[in-house]
Structure 1
Amino acid sequence: MISVEDWAEIRRLHRAEQMPIRAIARQLGISKNTVKRALATDRPPVYSRPAKGSAVDAVEPLIRELLKQTPTMPATVIAERIGWDRGMTVLKERVRELRPAYLPVDPVSRTTYQPGELAQCDLWFPPADIPLGYGQSGCPPVLVMVSGYSRIIAARMLPARTTGDLIDGHWKLLTGWNAVPRMLVWDNEAGIGRGKVTGDFAAFAGLLATRIYLCKPRDPEAKGLVERANGYLETSFLPGRTFTGPEDFNTQLTAWLAIANRRQHRTLGARPVDRWEADRAQMLALPPIDPPRWWRFATRIGRDHYIRVDTCDYSVHPLAIGKKVQVRTDTDEVIVTLTLGGAEVARHPRCWAKQQTLTDPVHARAAALLRGDYRHHQATQALATRRHNAAPQVISSRAAAETTSRRPPDACRCQDHRPGQTQDRPPDRRRPVLPGPGDEGPRPAGRRRAAGRTRLEGDLDTHRVPRRLPPAGGLRPRVPRRRGPHPHRRGSQEESPR
């Protein structure tokens, strides 16, 4: 078999040079019959041989049966089902040839966009460690928007993927465009809605007078423009860059996008900035309102005087304790105002780190002063209570006697007995002493007689009477017996000396 170059040379020599077949065969050193076959065809020579059978031909009916039941069955599973013990290469090639006949056809059509029609949105998580402060680093989400007609790209890093932060990110990007597309295309992002737009984002769409379109699950081709933009940012913007924080990231990203939007777009055959004016002219006007704080909630300040936004705690002026406040948050700062009156009681920059506590020094000093005043007030009240309890209460003998006479006959005159108390325990010998003649008040309970003192007859009017008195002059004075035993003490009856 001759090569394609020899075939072309034979045809040139015969038609252009008018060289006979014998001379051509002699010059090229080939057979005359070969020259005749080369001149008889208009196609270059191609090596071909009859196809030989393959080992897969014997099991092809089984493969087709399995693919008919499950078109997506892997080749390894098919080999196991049919008992294949040969090389996997030939089997995989045959399965690759047979599988399209059993799969449903899903053709993709190219989409064209009209000026101002829509913008595709998505979150991009850059594979880089961004310093967030307080010794933490991470990769916060980046909101990316791509206009369908002009392919203009806008992007901004957000603290979190919550609904409030997503709305605030949309507002800032649309403010940079100074226009609103007629439709915003989103996938099933939790902060936007899954199957149904969330209430907060629906309110935001109503403010912008735009439509929110949620793509079906597992359908990335429905928003291929923004998916391609994410890859473009990752391969063209991110390599070789370092960042000091989220603000530095947004600054570098904004400067780079101004250059990237001037590149020549291969699909459009034009630069995005050249098509932007026509695109923006057909968009909706931005609502003429002040930039709102989209993350709002109301709460009552407790003694801790801190409020939580996302995962961080922010201090509030302690004078707001016990009052209702309104918390307004965006991606830049946190503002707390009183519900009644609207006075501002806290303002903090938004913290990007997680699980942090931010305390304003003014709030800390005010809390320390109020805490000191409260402790001083408590100490003053406690001192007044102690002085009132320590004041002496003088009771005359006549008042004590009247108090004793008003008691029931069977009532106990001691302080040890209480109603319902059993008398199984031994009596307490330290009983209070009733007032005697000439006493100003009752003798404190439990007071013992001084050591060395001899009980005299003048002491017989006391409550406690000794069993015997020491003899005086060899005579034993008679001691009058008590009229009755003590009603609540066993063994307390005193016997008179004989």
Structure 2
Amino acid sequence: MISVEDWAEIRRLHRAEEMPIRAIARHLGISKNTVKRAIATDRAPVYERAAKGSAVDAFEPAIRELLKATPSMPATVIAERIGWERGITVLKERVRELRPAYLPADPTGRTQYLPGELAQCDLWFPPVHIPVGYGQVACPPVLVMVSGYSRMITARMIPTRQTGDLIAGHWRLLSDWGTVPKMLVWDNESGIGQGKLTTEFAAFAGLLAVKVHLCRPRDPEAKGLVERANGYLETSFVPGRTFTGPDDFNTQLGDWLQGANRRLHRSIQARPVDRWEADRAAMLALPPVGPPQWYLFHTRIGRDHYLRIDLNDYSVHPRAIGRRVQVTCDADLIRVVTDGGDLVAEHPRCWARHQTLTDPDHKSAADQMRGDFIHAKAAAAARSRTATALAPDNLGIEVEERQLDTYDRIFTLIQGGAGQEENR
């Protein structure tokens, strides 16, 4: 067998140089028949070892019958059924080759999205440490949304993955869009719902008048758009950047997304901003009432006039002690209002953990009220003692006053007690 180089040289000499076959054979030192075969074929010579067969060949008909009846039968069970006594590796390779012919086909289809149809949502955890105050750093989640039709990406860092923060994050992103997709696609995130929406997020979906689709477990292809967006953020946005806090992260992210949404998207061969107007036109209108004011929780203020929110304690004005209050909380601000509409606390949201945040006005008011309470209690006690001391004179009754040693003698604590009188 000649080499590929000789085969190529033979064809060049014959076609380009018009050299006769005999001359080519004499020039290269090979036989004329070899030259004739090289000229006659357009395929380069390839060495192929003659197949010697396999020990599995004799069992292949039996294997096919078993796979025809049960396509998913494991190779170990097939080995037992056909009486295989050799190494299992060669049998597994043959079963792997034969099995696809007996399995039902499961072709994938290219998904097409209509304008305004849906947006895929996910939480992305950036591999960076964000300063959150009080000497702490954290890796807060980033809520990412991708519109199906235009591939427009929007994202924002939120304090936690709890339902309240997810609702506030959705509202902030949708407010930036100024519109709402007809469907939100989520995986089984605990703050959204696992198999069934949480009560709070179901109410939020009702406020938006949208459908929330929860993907099946372990099905990342169902929201591949946002998964690829997460990877794009991690490889193109994060590298080389430093952040001074969550606000700085969101500012840099917003500036970067403006350029990212103007790039040519390979899947749709268009820029997301060029398809965004058609996408927005088919979406739903944003409701007039936002969840930070609509989504509340209620509690009653105890003597310790502090509220615990996300592992942090926030002070409340002590005038609210014993009263029922409404608490609104988003990523930036915490407000506490009584049922009568009296604002009794307003704090910036703390992203650190295990901190106590006290308003100086609340502390001074509590100190003043505590001092007034102690003085009032002391005055009431003094008035009670005065009234008791004056009571006998007012009634004209003389009260005998015994000496203290009289009680000692009664209880036999000193000589002359009652017990000694009886012994005598």
For 1:74 and 1:248, locate their aligned partners in 2 and report how far apart those are by CA, in whole Å: 57
Question: Where does residue 208 of structure 2 map in the other structure?
Answer: 208
Aligned partners of 2:368, 2:62: CA distance in 1, in Å?
87
Distance 2:391 2:15 in 1: 145
Q: Distance in 2 between matches of 1:73 and 1:385?
A: 91
Contact 2:180 2:208 in 1 (8 A): yes
Percent identity over paired residues: 66
Report what 2:189 is aligned to: 189
How far apart are the structure 2 equivalents of 1:38 and 1:293?
A: 85
Counterpart in 1 of 2:245? 245
**For the Cα contact (< 8 Å) 2:71–2:103, is it kept in 1?**
no
Pairs within 5 Å for 1:82-231:
94=94, 96-98=96-98, 100=100, 105-231=105-231
Instruction: Provide the rounded CA distance (Å) in 2 between the counterparts of 1:170 and 1:84.
Output: 60
Q: Does the 8 Å CA contact 2:207/2:287 hold for their aligned counterparts?
A: yes
User: Which residue of structure 2 aligns with residue 7 of structure 1?
Assistant: 7
Matching residue's letter, 1:359: T
Structure 1 residues 446 and 127, CA, compared in 2 at 3 Å: closer, same or farther? Answer: closer
Q: Tell whether the 8 Å contact from 2:392 to 2:399 is kept in structure 1 after alignment.
A: no
Whether contact under 8 Å (1:294, 1:329) holds in the other structure is no
Instruction: Judge conservation of contact 2:67–2:102 (CA < 8 Å) in 1.
Output: no
Cα distance change on mapping 1:489 and 1:164 into 2, 3 Å:
closer
**2:402 aligned partner:** 444
Query: What CA deviation, in whole Å up to 9, does each residue of 1:451-481 have, x standing for no partner?
Result: xxxxxxxxxxxxxxxxxxxxxxxxxxxxxxx
Q: Note closer, same or farther for the CA distance 1:103–1:382 as it changes in structure 2 (3 Å cut).
A: farther
Aligned 1:294-309 pairs, distance under 5 A: 295-309=295-309
The count of residues paired between Structure 1 and Structure 2 equals: 408
Give 1:140 deviation, angstroms: 1.3
SS of residue matched to 2:121 = strand
Computed over aligned residues only, the root mean square deviation of the Cα atoms, in angstroms, reads 3.6
Task: Please tell me whether the aligned partners of residues 164 and 294 of structure 1 are also in contact (alpha carbons under 8 angstroms).
Answer: no
Query: Are residue 387 (structure 1) and residue 345 (structure 2) matched?
Result: no
* C-alpha distance in 2 between matches for 1:394 and 1:152: 91
Q: Which residue of 2 aligns with 1:33?
A: 33
Q: Distance in 2 between matches of 1:395 and 1:185?
A: 84
- 1:38 & 1:83 partners in 2: Cα distance? 47
**Aligned equivalents of 1:258 and 1:4: distance in 2?**
55
TM-score (normalizing by structure 2): 0.84
Cα distance, 1:241 vs. partner?
A: 1.9
Q: How far does the alpha carbon of each residue in 1:87-112 deviate from its partner, in whole angstroms, 9 at most, with x for none? A: x7x67755653554566543221111
How far is the alpha carbon of 1:8 from its aligned partner? Answer: 3.8
Q: Distance in 2 between matches of 1:40 and 1:33?
A: 10
Q: Contact 1:168–1:293 (CA<8 Å) still a contact in 2?
A: no
Are the aligned partners of 1:394 and 1:441 in contact in 2 as well (CA < 8 Å)? no
Q: Give 1 or 2: higher helix fraction.
A: 2
Residue identity matched to 2:252: Q
- Residues 214 and 49 of structure 1, relative CA distance in 2, 3 Å threshold: same
Deviations 1:403-437 (A, max 9, x none): xxxxxxxxxxxxxxxxxxxxxxxxxxxxxxxxxxx
- For residues 352-378 of structure 1, what are the alpha-carbon distances to aligned partners after superposition, in whole Å with 9 as ceiling and x for unaligned? 122222111110100000000000011
Shift of 1:46: 2.0
Q: CA deviation at 1:255?
A: 1.2
How far is 1:204 from its partner?
2.1
SS at match of 2:107: coil
Q: Which residue of 2 aligns with 1:281?
A: 281
Question: 1:423 maps to which residue?
Answer: none
Q: Please give the alpha-carbon distance, in whole angstroms, between the structure 2 residues aligned to 1:296 and 1:137.
A: 29
Would you say the 8 A contact 2:132–2:352 is kept in 1?
Answer: yes
Change (3 A) 1:245 1:55: farther
Q: CA deviation at 1:238?
A: 1.4
CA gap 1:369/1:14 in 2 versus in 1, 3 angstroms: same
Go from structure 1 to structure 2 and tell me whether the alpha carbon gap of 1:352 and 1:491 turns closer, same or farther (over 3 Å shift): closer
What one-letter code is carried by the residue in structure 2 that aligns with 1:212? V
- Give CA deviations for 1:211-231 in whole Å, capped at 9, x if unaligned: 211111211101100011111
Which amino acid letter does the alignment assign opposite residue 355 of structure 1? H
Indicate conservation of the 8 Å contact 1:145/1:155, yes or no. Answer: yes
TM-score, normalisation: structure 1: 0.72
- Larger of the two Rg values belongs to structure: 1
1:264 paired residue number: 264
Q: Indicate if the aligned counterparts of 2:204 and 2:291 stay in contact, CA closer than 8 A.
A: no
Counterparts in 2 of 1:446 and 1:365: CA distance versus 1, 3 Å: closer
Name the stretch that deviates more: 307-316 or 281-290.
281-290
The aligned counterpart of 2:410 is none
Structure 2 counterpart of 1:412: none
CA distance in 2, matches of 1:35, 1:490: 146
Separation (CA, whole Å) in 2 of partners of 1:84 and 1:304: 77
Rounded to whole Å, the distance in 2 between the matches of 1:141 and 1:178 is 23
Which residue does 2:352 correspond to in 1?
A: 353
Which residue of structure 2 aligns with residue 23 of structure 1?
A: 23
Gaps of 5+ in 2: 407-417
Deviation at 1:47, TM superposition (A): 1.5
1:7 CA displacement: 2.8
Amino acid in structure 1 at the alignment position of 2:380: Q
Which is worse superposed, 214-223 or 125-134? Answer: 125-134
CA contact (8 A) 1:305 1:315 kept: yes
Secondary structure in 1 matching 2:248: helix
Amino acid of the structure 1 residue aligned with 2:206 = G
Taking the aligned partners of 1:84 and 1:354, their CA distance within structure 2 comes to 62
1:115 Cα deviation from its structure 2 partner: 1.8
1:376 aligns with 2:375: yes
Amino acid at match of 2:27: Q
Aligned amino acid, residue 230 of structure 1: N
- Give the equivalent residue in structure 1 for 2:415: none
Residues of 2 paired with 1:102 and 1:268: CA distance? 36
Q: What's the offset of the Cα at 1:13? A: 3.7
> What one-letter code is carried by the residue in structure 1 that aligns with 2:21?
I
Say which SS state the counterpart of residue 123 (structure 1) adopts: strand
For residues 308 and 219 of structure 1, the distance between their equivalents in structure 2, rounded to whole angstroms, comes to: 37
CA distance in 2, matches of 1:125, 1:441: 82
Superposition deviation, residue 162 in structure 1? 1.6
Counterpart AA for 2:128 = A
